Amino acid sequence: MGILEVNGVNKRFGGLQALGDVNLDVQEGTCHAIIGPNGAGKSTLLNCLVGKLAPDTGSVIFQGNPVLGRKPHEINQMGISRVFQTPEIFSDQTVLENVLIPCFARRDGSFRMHAYESVNDEGDILTQAEEMLEEVNMLSKKDMMASSLSRGDKRRLEMAMSLVQQPQLLLLDEPTAGMARADTNNTIALLKEIKEKRNITMVIIEHDMHVVFSLADRITVLAQGTPLVEDIPENIKGHPKVREAYLGEAQV
């Protein structure tokens, strides 16, 4: 039994079967990659996991608790955190404030009328946030406005915002999209470190095979909304079905 179980999830958009009977079993402490050509339903699946979309049928169980039917903030409070394809950050606020917000969310829950103390008096939270920024090498930029960061830094900031909540499950939607090679390698290193140090389970959607094969413990290949195969990376590389559906396109 895994930390995350997806059983028979179906989702239709009008006449289009976006997800057809998807089953997934993610083991605790592993990195599970979902790959597939464009339009295979990868993002739809992720949206179903975080409460943005409601699947038509099927169930999603996280640590023995059903996920479906809960709101995004409730799912996050269960310990599932998500990193978006284009970084979603609080652009009008400073880098430090961006990390403080998830710190408070983790400590105080989804709502607390916390209007008496000043943010500057919250020593523990400030230390926690600064340590996290240090870890992603962004402490020197803590007073910058988040909107003025480079794309790579925004990505790192978003990662820091997710990690500071110490989630049990991290969902990554193309974490290296639009990054230069060097940045991609930094991100891979960062994710590897996170996995080893914090033992966070990850589900990663990725186009870049370099990233997938350096991180994933298991890979599921989606095509037209249905899982083709699920196996360890070594077996996926040479799998004929996968070549046909996905890798073939890239290797011609």
Which residues would be at the binding site for other proteins (CB under 8 A)?
50, 71-73, 76-77, 81-82, 84, 88-93, 97, 100-102, 104-106, 108-122, 161, 165
The nearer residue to other proteins, 98 or 220, going by C-beta atoms, is 98
The nearer residue to other proteins, 93 or 224, going by C-beta atoms, is 93
Rounded to a whole number, what is the largest CA-CA distance in the chain?
A: 63
- Quote the CA–CA distance of 246 and 241 in Å, as a whole number: 8
- Residue 124 CB, nearest distance to other proteins (Å)? 12
The three-point CA angle 162-168-173 to 5° equals: 50
The token pair at 196 is 């080893």
- Residue 43 CB, nearest distance to other proteins (Å)? 14
The nearer residue to other proteins, 144 or 209, going by C-beta atoms, is 144
Q: Which amino acid would we find at residue 73?
A: H
- Residue 243 CB, nearest distance to other proteins (Å)? 35
- Residue 174 CB, nearest distance to other proteins (Å)? 16
- Quote the CA–CA distance of 91 and 211 in Å, as a whole number: 27
The nearer residue to other proteins, 99 or 236, going by C-beta atoms, is 99
- The CA–CA distances, whole Å, from 216 to 98, 154, 172, 220, 242 equal 29, 24, 12, 10, 16
